[in-house]
Structure 1
Amino acid sequence: MVELIDPSHTLYAIHLHLSSEVKIEVGKLGSFLFEKGDYIYVGSAKRNILARINRHKKEEKVQKWHFDYLRPHGVITKIITYETSIGECQLAEKLRKKSEGHFPIKKFGSTDCRCPSHLIYTAN
């Protein structure tokens, strides 16, 4: 796993690989079929980004965030942090364009904002 982490940053992107498709119940969002491939989850932590990232790395935990439901089904391949010159939504859109991906599930990780999703599917 590649980790490019700066503790002074407040944004992060977790790259996760699913080796096969899987149907997952994602809290109140509902049940979704996740295709085999690569996903990027964008999040933020205003305080202690290292603790948030370490929590996301764990496969077994109380399910609090949407990513918690997806995490046990895949392998984390990369984690990168970003400074806050752009916001979480803008970072998600920037990474979607760069990866030529799409947002597979509406409001995944973004129920508290107006953007489509903070989960990107890249199919690689």
Structure 2
Amino acid sequence: MGYAINESDTLYAIKFRLVKDIKSIQIGKLGPFDFPRGYYVYVGSAKRNIKARIDRHLKVDKKKRWHIDYLRPYLSVESVQSFPESDGECQLFQRLKLEHNADMPAKGFGSSDCYCYSHLFFFEIKS
């Protein structure tokens, strides 16, 4: 999949689509979670080489290192967008979550290095 990012940006949001409900996926040490069908947006940061970080997240077959690695095999990639660090990762997540009127399906997902509830949000596929 091709995508355009600004190499000087340090923040990113990857939008995925899950086409059917998935029950009880083990997300590393966080535990099992259910994921309803819909759109998911994962927000992250990379202080160096944002393109390499995003490329890794887009791969399906890899050693599981981040929470998104456990969910990735079930998801199709919709879009990738990069952002400057001006807001910060947590603020970017909150802003995008509010814009989409979204829910957070998994406490602690992608947010083990901050106090946020999650860095993964979900919104339904409109039929």
With normalisation by structure 1, the TM-score equals 0.96
CA distance in structure 1 between the partners assigned to 2:99 and 2:14 by the alignment: 15
Unaligned runs of 5+ in 1: none
CA distance in structure 2 between the partners assigned to 1:81 and 1:6 by the alignment: 6
What RMSD over aligned residues (CA atoms) do the two structures have, in Å? 1.1
The one-letter code of the counterpart of 1:91 is: L
Question: Corresponding residue for 2:55?
Answer: 54
CA distance in structure 1 between the partners assigned to 2:19 and 2:26 by the alignment: 18
Aligned positions of 1:1-124 closer than 5 A: 3-23=3-23, 24-124=25-125
Runs of 4+ in 1 over 2 A off after TM superposition: 1-4
Deviations 1:23-62 (A, max 9, x none): 3110000011110000000000000000001101100100
CA distance in structure 1 between the partners assigned to 2:2 and 2:58 by the alignment: 13
CA distance in structure 2 between the partners assigned to 1:6 and 1:13 by the alignment: 13
CA distance in structure 1 between the partners assigned to 2:105 and 2:3 by the alignment: 25
Q: Does the 8 Å contact 1:2/1:78 carry over to 2?
A: no
Shift of 1:22: 1.1
Q: Could you say if the C-alpha distance between residues 102 and 93 of structure 1 is closer, same or farther in structure 2, counting changes exceeding 3 Å? A: same
CA distance in structure 1 between the partners assigned to 2:122 and 2:43 by the alignment: 12
With normalisation by structure 2, the TM-score equals 0.94
Question: Number of residue pairs matched?
Answer: 124
Percent identity, please: 48
Q: Does the 8 Å contact 2:3/2:79 carry over to 1?
A: yes
